[in-house]
Structure 1
Amino acid sequence: MKKNKFNIAFAIVTITLGLFSCTDDTSQNQSTSAVELVTLEASVEEVESVVDTYSLYALSSLEFESTTDVTGKTSSGKTKLGKGCKDRSGFFPDCAVFEEVTEGDVTTTTISFPDDCEDRNGDIISGTITIVKSTLDTDKSRTITFDVFTVNGYVTNGTKTHEYTAENENGNPQIEGSVNITIETDEGTITKAGTRLVEVTAGSDTDTHKDDEKTITGSYSFTDAEENTKTVEITTALIKPAACKYIAEGIKEYTEAGETSILDYGDGTCDNLATLTEADETVTEIELKRKRKR
């Protein structure tokens, strides 16, 4: 009888320890997942920064030599740089192909990149960007559509609706508007939806892109392939110097189920590192990734 009591007591202790063990493992897995999700979002931020740069210079720097046909339609036709299209920023690679067509008061600009087109920053670009705008002076809205637009293996689809301002209250050019895109990553397809403002805060007094510095603000929802969603707010503007491949400064807050974690990009040093502080004050250094493993 004593032996049976001992066996029962031992079983209870074993089960109890097992339950505590499972609880600890679950907590650890949740923490790891939070870090992985933020790491994924931060890497996607790097990709979107490249996408924004193409959008910005497409709106601010491209100039087309147009001709008018007998129907009254104005079109430059397909062209490469130096043949009917001028890029004042010097940002677009020679492999980019441009087409601009105006019908009535709507102008459509298409920028296409062949596979393995390497740009000025060493990024591998392919796919198509289409920009639709009104020629009316009162309408500054631009609808930018991405069709399998690929940056270093990350595939972007969807739209951005921007209002382009050549000179804002600070005297700087900017694009501001809504974002609704998907990006294919190694972890599956993610979605981003929200608002975004990109301002050129340094270098806008010259045509070249090489001395530009951009700041990025906004808020949005971020959902991964497993439908884990975080709301993200850029609380301190992200800073992306043209001379650095990575975002060098700024702070973002991630909120999920009432808990907030903070990602700090640092003090302006050009590196691929950022610091994540979770709701429980756990601190993790994460690596920003610009290329898919594939």
Structure 2
Amino acid sequence: MKKKILLFGMILSIHAFTSCSQDSNTATETTVTSNDVAATQKMDNAIDDVSLIADNQYEISEGSTTGKSVVSYFSILPNCATISDLGSSISVRVITITFGTADTPCVFRGHSLKGQIILTRTIGTTFPKIMTVTYNNFYVNENKLEGTSTWKREMLGSGENLHPKTTFTMTGMTLTTTAGVYTRNGDRVREMTAGFLTRQSPTDDIYSTYGTFTTTHPNGSVFTSLIESATPLINKTACNLIQVPMPFPVSGIVKLSKNSHYSTIDYGSGDCDNLAMLSIDGGMATQITLGN
């Protein structure tokens, strides 16, 4: 259980961040601030939503060619999302996912989504599987996500230990917010460490995420996010299914660096909540509240 430390002004809120008219950092600022953490979390949320959807819809459309027995696959998409199989051929599958309308977005894991995600991949049983992910007027909480990313799926282990590992490679992906444009490059690797053999229900699904990537802020500052494989971010799908969704890591550590300065975000020890502990340049850790 995370120890609650109250510190006025240190409560981190993504909603509060979006209300700001400009990035609080300046090009000459050296420390990593709570607003830097908020901006990175905003893009993390958007990328994680997309990669989770890509994983799920791959399974729905590919079926037993994943190496599993033939079962029904649970779709995580809300009812307000529609699927169109457009431009597919014998060897290539093209799926367009449309979220809501321009006036009425969809709600997914507590986030507001609208626009389209286009998934394009080859059809077959040979691994790794490669898929490109593109976007058409796609928004997460009114923030526009653009660019082309690459999704790679591998299968690890065998028998009861069989599970997928996916790598989401981002090259020049952008998130446009009220504060400006944020650019993301790098890799996020996610392994499904539990729940793969019970795909009819998502309640026991657990994911482990790690990798290194950079985020360039509107003012030109470049931040490096490091998630070690020894302390990966752990996400439980069950946390997304509670009445108030908590689509945040339940444990794991992220190190966010700029030049010689850094912050460490510790997501705790397994609880479904929106709390984390933030330490800047090795200082005292303070509790922060994660937002949408």
Q: TM-score range by the shorter chain?
A: 0.7 to 0.9
Which amino acid is the alignment partner of residue 76 of structure 2?
F
CA RMSD in angstroms, aligned pairs only: 2.7
CA deviations 1:24-62 (Å, max 9, x no partner) are: xx9xx9477622111221233233222221111111223
Q: Within the alignment, does 1:123 sit opposite 2:108 as a pair?
A: no
TM score, norm. by length of structure 2? 0.73
Aligned partner of 1:91 in structure 2 is 76
Q: Which residue of 1 aligns with 2:237?
A: 242
Contact 2:99 2:106 in 1 (8 A): no
Partner of 1:49: 48
Structure 1's consecutive aligned runs of 4 or more residues displaced over 6 angstroms after TM superposition are none
Structure whose CA Rg is larger: 1
Counterpart CA distance in 1 for 2:95 and 2:277 is 40
SS of alignment partner, residue 254 of structure 2: strand
Task: Please give the alpha-carbon distance, in whole angstroms, between the structure 2 residues aligned to 1:95 and 1:125.
Answer: 10
Distance 2:105 2:79 in 1: 9
| Kept after mapping to 2: 8 A contact 1:213/1:239 | yes
Task: Tell me, yes or no, if structure 1 residue 231 matches structure 2 residue 219.
Answer: no
SS in 2 for 1:210: coil
- 1:7-34 deviations in whole A, cap 9, x for unaligned? xxxxxxxxxxxxxxxxxxx9xx947762
How many Å separate the matches in 1 of 2:211 and 2:252? Answer: 12
Q: Give the drift of 1:96.
A: 1.9
Aligned runs of 1:131-280 on 2, under 5 Å?
131-138=119-126, 140-165=129-154, 167-169=155-157, 170-180=161-171, 181-207=173-199, 208-235=201-228, 236-244=231-239, 245=246, 246-279=248-281
Q: Which has the higher contact order (CA 8 A, sep 6+)?
A: 2
% identical aligned pairs: 27
Report the structure, 1 or 2, having the larger strand content.
1
**Matched residues in 2 for 1:187 and 1:285: separation?**
24
1:102 to 83, 88, 96: 88
TM-score by length of structure 1 reads 0.73
Deviation at 1:156, TM superposition (A): 1.4
In structure 2, what is the Cα distance between the partners aligned to 1:148 and 1:113?
Answer: 10
Question: Cα–Cα, structure 1 residues 146 and 137, in superposed 2: closer, same or farther, change >3 Å?
Answer: same
SS state at 2:207 partner: strand
Amino acid at match of 1:130: I
Q: Please, which runs of 5 or more residues in structure 1 have no aligned partner?
A: 1-25, 65-85
Instruction: Please state how far the C-alpha of 1:137 moved relative to its aligned partner.
Output: 4.2
Question: Shift in Å at residue 249 of structure 1?
Answer: 1.0
1:48 and 1:55 map into 2 onto residues whose CA distance is 11
Describe the SS at the equivalent of 1:40.
helix
Give the gaps of 5 or more residues in structure 2: 1-24, 64-70, 240-245
Paired amino acid for 1:144: V
State the Cα deviation string for residues 214-259 of structure 1 (Å, max 9, x = none). Answer: 2211110011111111111112211111122222111011222123
**Distance in 2 between residues matched to 1:177 and 1:155, nearest whole Å:** 19
| Aligned length, in residue pairs | 242
Of 45-54 and 216-225, deviating more is 45-54
